[in-house]
Amino acid sequence: MDEGDSGAVTRISEPAPAKLNLALHVRGRLADGRHAIETLFAFCTDGDMVHAEPDEHSTFEIIGPMSDGLDPLEDNLVTRAAAALQARRPPMLDGGASLVLDKRLPLAAGIGGGSADAAATLRLLTRLWKMDPGHASEIAPTLGADVPACLLSMTARGDGAGDALTLVDDARVSGAPVLLVNPRVALPTAAVFAAWDGDDLGPLGDWREGRNDLEAPARALVPAIGDIIAWLAARPGANFVRMSGSGATCFALFDSEEDRDTAAAACPSTWWHLATHLR
């Protein structure tokens, strides 16, 4: 949080942590047509960042290493989140916000990028405009099934479409060293779900004994996912390897930071990677 000479807040920032699905079971379809899933969400200590400061008009800028190809004038979850929250402000409160998205995570990567950015925007503007956080909780499900989990950014089980959440306290998660790897290939979620074979392979119990039912269709669309999973599984100290969400990002949990960092240093330059921790 930055302050001007008068002590007034001029800019505040909010992280948009990368989301991981430690397990993801697809069980069928809900009455509204969405896929019924059972998943365990976990969040990293790193991700995108959203900045805001008061402005007479609402503006939006995208910066960062993953900003290429993103047009701030196109419809996106950040501006939709901001508009939905602003619509709930009392009529006597004028002015908008200048928003800046520092895009550090790859696009369409299965790690919640757009959903995390929308959730961070809701948290950020709730603070900036001194609004009841309940508004953000009500808006989040209207923006996407992952947005409620990203709004919490805490380890949680997701049922329904992934938006019925139960917080989980698991000592195996918090603080775990993790390496994320992506082949630099965008993989739209809708295409992966469309390729799912429709088989219900059973409920989610312990996440380490679970699976990601979207891995097979994702690998058929992006074969490099299989290469990454095999590479991660061969790293010394890697104790758990899986694809996240609908891909194409895969991840490994490690016994130690040293093992994780050694793997990160050896990661092929053609792949994007992020060495971080679980929250």
Q: Where are the domains of the chain?
A: 2-167, 177-277
What's the pLDDT tens digit per position in 194-220? Answer: 999 999 999 999 999 999 999 999 999
What pLDDT, on the 0 to 100 scale, is given for residue 8? 59
Residue ranges of the chain with pLDDT lower than 70? 1-9, 92
What pLDDT, on the 0 to 100 scale, is given for residue 3? 46
Catalytic one among 48, 102, 117, 146? 146
Write down the pTM of the prediction. Answer: 0.94
Q: Which residues contact 175 (CB under 8 A, 6 or more apart)?
A: 277, 278
The structure tokens 């790690």 sit at 111
What pLDDT, on the 0 to 100 scale, is given for residue 1? 47
Q: Which helix (H) or strand (E) holds 14?
A: strand 9-29
CATH code, 2-167: 3.30.230.10
Identify whether 19 is a catalytic site residue. Answer: yes
CATH code, 177-277: 3.30.70.890
Catalytic one among 19, 48, 102, 213? 19
What pLDDT, on the 0 to 100 scale, is given for residue 273? 98
What pLDDT, on the 0 to 100 scale, is given for residue 258? 98
Query: Buried (b) or exposed (e) across 98-123, using 16+ Cβ within 10 A?
Result: bbbbbbbbbbbbbbbbbbbbbbbbbb
Q: Determine the longest span between alpha carbons in the chain, in angstroms.
A: 62
Identify whether 46 is a catalytic site residue. Answer: no
DSSP state letters, 258-270: HHHHHHHHHS-TT
- Cα distance between residue 127 and residue 79, in whole Å: 17
- Cα distance between residue 216 and residue 218, in whole Å: 5
